[in-house]
Amino acid sequence: MLGFGLYATLYAGVASLVSRQEDVNQTIGPLTIVAALGYFVATYSSSGIIPIDSPLVVVLSYVPFLNPYIMLTRLALGQVAPWEPVLAVVLLALSVGGALWVAGRLYAAGQSCPQARATTSANRPRSQHVAVVMPIRPQHLVLGS
């Protein structure tokens, strides 16, 4: 539940920055990549491709964005000490609080200043689409030092 709360809060905060529904996928792309990374590490470590007791997997199981996936895999395979899931849950709960604060700031910034919202070339007026052609002049082609 905490993992869902973390991702839902961050997705909502980032999505509040866009002004058009078509632009949402571009802004939430990095969050989706992080979630997929956690899923792949958990899947590969549970199947034995990555050793479950490797330092990489152990360290990543404490990263709040990844521990909903990796810590559950380590827990299911019996590779954790009793205190490790407790520490992971505490870190995740603290990061949910931080994510709520960040999402609130993003939402407030997007609502108070609509010009500051994320823009793409698709939602710019036609007058702003300008092709810039720079001529190559001989003085720009200085070779050597």
Give the residue extent of every domain in the chain: 2-140
Amino acid 11: pLDDT: 87
pLDDT recorded at residue 86: 93
**Local mean pLDDT, 10-residue blocks, the chain (145 residues):** 89 82 83 90 90 90 90 88 92 92 83 57 51 47 47
pLDDT at 24: 82
90: tokens are 């505490």
CA-to-CA dists, residue 47 to 37, 44, 143, angstroms: 15, 5, 54
Assign 18 to helix, strand or coil: strand
pTM of the full structure: 0.67
